[in-house]
Amino acid sequence: MLRNPNEILLVAAVIFGVLQGSWSFVVPQTPFAQSTYPIRSVSTAIFSLSQNRRPIIAGNWKLNPATISEAENLLKLISGNFKNHRTLDGPEIVVFPPFPYLTTAINELDGTGIKVGAQNVGLETKGAFTGEVAASMISSLGASYVMLGHSERRTLYKESDSDINAKVHLCMEQPNLNVILCVGETEEEYESGLLKSVVDLQLKKGLMGLKKEDLKRIVVAYEPVWAIGTGKVATSEQAQSAHIAVRGTLSDLFGVEYANEVKIQYGGSVSPASIDELMQMPDVDGALVGGASLTADSFTRIVDGGTYSNLDNQSPKELIATEVVKTKNVLGESPIWSVKDKCLYWISAPEEEVWAWNLKDSPYRRLMGTTIGCIALQESTEEGDLVVAGERAFIKMNMSSNSKDFASGGEVLCDRPEQTETTRPNDGRVDRQGRLVFGMYNNYHRAGASAGENNAGLYRLNSKLEVESLLDYKYRVSNCICFPKEGDIMYFCDTPTRKVYAFDYPKEDGGKLTNRRLVYTVPPELAGAPDGAQIDSDGFLWIALSGSGRVIRVNPQSGHVDTIVHLPVSSPTSCTFGGEDLDELFITTRGPDGGGLYRVKVPGIKGLPEPEFSINSLQSVPSNSSPVLPTSAPSSTNEFPTPPVPSATRFVPGAHYLS
């Protein structure tokens, strides 16, 4: 991105010439007008204070978000993106949350190097001024910046230049406070050629009485009012020209040397798409970002250099999975690895089978006599104890090939919710507290009377075998359910939407999922949709993209895909980590071209042990469901079986098995 200095001078000179012709104000011919500062990207900026100014990117949250928990979430995402990631070579980063979130922001961002600022300050220092906030209070919290003179304060709250100047002085009395002073012209003023005189006056009045030394703690944000929140970003040439004008006034006030040190941000509809061009300009020293700072991903990308962002630039690692069990499942699903049993279990949903493979002997299966949504490990001293989410009920069964129970049906634990033919249990995983979270599936979502209808709920089976509803709304096809090791977040997608979300996950029984935020959207160029997912020990998501022949690893904080596992078949359905060291990714697939179990080693990445479902009382809850018995003889153990032909007499609602 860095260009050579001659090219820079040429560009600056051309811009300068063009602007002199096209703009109605005169750009000052100060010594710094044809800047010798290198053209920078935000991310590659290397600064030395005498020659170059370290860029500063600030996020102005304005009156957002509505609640502290949303603010915490945004801060966590930002902090996750930046932790241990930024070096001193990068830009200075500041966020400006509303007053009530300042302390939370300071705490959440601790250790990231990101500074926190206040969006305003009162005119008084203490006393009977109800509702006011003093500069000393801001400073004592540990905030580093105060933003003053924002156009919204000037117009909506009638702040005058002399108010702003008084506030600048109050901040300067606090040795640890810096100020971002915002200036900028309205559209009308711009059209009338008044940009320079408006900005000149705002600066002269706003900075009146300041000592040269104070200037080190002042950043100027040039924000044309017509660009704020409008999507009408100024061109980089317009910004550069205005910044030269700002520096001209600063030079008039404090001298060239001091003026050269002042950082001038551009603000007004800055986004990842516009930041790089703006930052090419020698006098654009960063950005004041409003709307785009409310999303961790876009803010991070702006800091990292917009379209050149590392988040986008790092090409994903590509791996290929190979088939290890040629099961030809109609619909393989729900793979789980038992550390205790050293065994992988999975299902073929419509074939009513649970499969087991210890990675050494031949895999074997057990027929359940019911369509299966998912399986879970059951907390037990016995090998092979599983819980099966059957079509009508939850079933406890033992999968051990030595068990005498092997030939009998499982024990019904309790009914599943929504006793209707329209829905059935689908994807599920045990949370970190040992409860089984599962979603329902609209059997008719692809066709039929209730096509497309959101009628499937999301539930949790707790240790008392009570089913709790986790969401107040319904959807079509639950998938992607998984939990990071802290157990406080749950991932989920309604497959037809092609979007994966994170929720704050309630640890207490009876709680609801809250604070939904988007983690990943399948891009339009990819076929298919997200199916099952698993989390690794870094907290990254592995999502099977059914229909596009791949499993992707997604950073849930940025949505960035850093690994793609390709399969030779189109529809992977889910995945999990297994093997002695939990470093092998097992992937179930579905027909017609797939159906086998695939595996890939992922160097340097490990899975987490699959949690076990814990039942407080082994007393099952009376169920109205029909008895669960195998509908055909179980295969003999330890042999590689031929998949059975599904029985035509079984109840198979809808027979639409989207994985």
Contacts with ligand PGA by CB under 6 A lie at 60, 223, 228-229, 267-270, 288-292
Q: Which long-range contacts (CB under 8 A, 24 or more apart) does 23-27 make?
A: 23/193, 23/195, 23/241, 24/192, 24/193, 25/193, 25/194, 25/195, 25/196, 25/197, 25/245, 26/196, 27/241, 27/244, 27/245, 27/248
Between 62 and 566, CB nearer to ligand PGA? 62
Q: Distances from the Cα of 40 to the Cαs of 5, 263, 278, 281, 540, in angstroms?
A: 11, 14, 9, 8, 32
Between 27 and 288, CB nearer to ligand PGA? 288
Q: How far is the CB of 8 from ligand PGA (least distance, A)?
A: 27
- Closest Cα partner for 258 from 56, 49, 38, 58? 49
DSSP E strands in 134-285: the ranges are: 145-148, 178-183, 218-222, 263-267
Which position's Cβ is nearest ligand PGA?
290
Q: How far is the CB of 513 from ligand PGA (least distance, A)?
A: 30
C-alpha–C-alpha distance, residues 55 and 439, integer Å: 47
Output the CA angle 62-64-65, nearest 5 degrees. 160
Between 267 and 282, CB nearer to ligand PGA? 267
Q: How far is the CB of 302 from ligand PGA (least distance, A)?
A: 10
593: how many CB neighbours lie within 10 A of its CB?
Answer: 13
| Catalytic-labelled residue, pool 531, 538, 562, 581 | 531
Tokens of residue 623, six digits: 């169920």
Q: Per the omega criterion (within 30 degrees of 0), is the bond before 100 cis?
A: no
Q: How many helices (H) and strands (E) would you count in the chain?
A: 13, 33
C-alpha–C-alpha distance, residues 341 and 383, integer Å: 6
DSSP sequence for 443-483: TTSSSSTTTT---B-EEEE-TTS-EEE--SS-BSBEEEEE-
Between 61 and 394, CB nearer to ligand PGA? 61
Tokens of residue 347, six digits: 């299902």
C-alpha–C-alpha distance, residues 192 and 380, integer Å: 79
Whether 504 is catalytic is no
- Residues recorded for the chain: 659
- Residue set of the binding site for a divalent metal cation: 333, 479, 531
C-alpha–C-alpha distance, residues 553 and 177, integer Å: 42
C-alpha–C-alpha distance, residues 651 and 470, integer Å: 28
Q: How far is the CB of 182 from ligand PGA (least distance, A)?
A: 7
DSSP sequence for 391-439: SSEEEEEE--TT-GGGGS--EEEEEPSS-STTEEEEEEEE-TTS-EEEE
216: how many CB neighbours lie within 10 A of its CB?
Answer: 12
C-alpha–C-alpha distance, residues 270 and 283, integer Å: 16
Between 81 and 295, CB nearer to ligand PGA? 295
Q: How far is the CB of 148 from ligand PGA (least distance, A)?
A: 12
- Residue set of the binding site for substrate: 424, 426
Coil, helix or strand at residue 178: strand
Main-chain dihedrals φ then ψ at residue 651, nearest 5 degrees:
-75, 115
C-alpha–C-alpha distance, residues 100 and 608, integer Å: 37
Between 147 and 551, CB nearer to ligand PGA? 147
Q: How far is the CB of 447 from ligand PGA (least distance, A)?
A: 44
Q: How far is the CB of 267 from ligand PGA (least distance, A)?
A: 4
- Closest Cα partner for 116 from 146, 136, 91? 146
CA 400 to chain CA centroid, Å, is 40
Between 177 and 292, CB nearer to ligand PGA? 292
Between 56 and 413, CB nearer to ligand PGA? 56
Q: How far is the CB of 293 from ligand PGA (least distance, A)?
A: 7
Coil, helix or strand at residue 249: helix
Between 228 and 554, CB nearer to ligand PGA? 228
Q: How far is the CB of 219 from ligand PGA (least distance, A)?
A: 13
Enzyme catalytic residues: 531
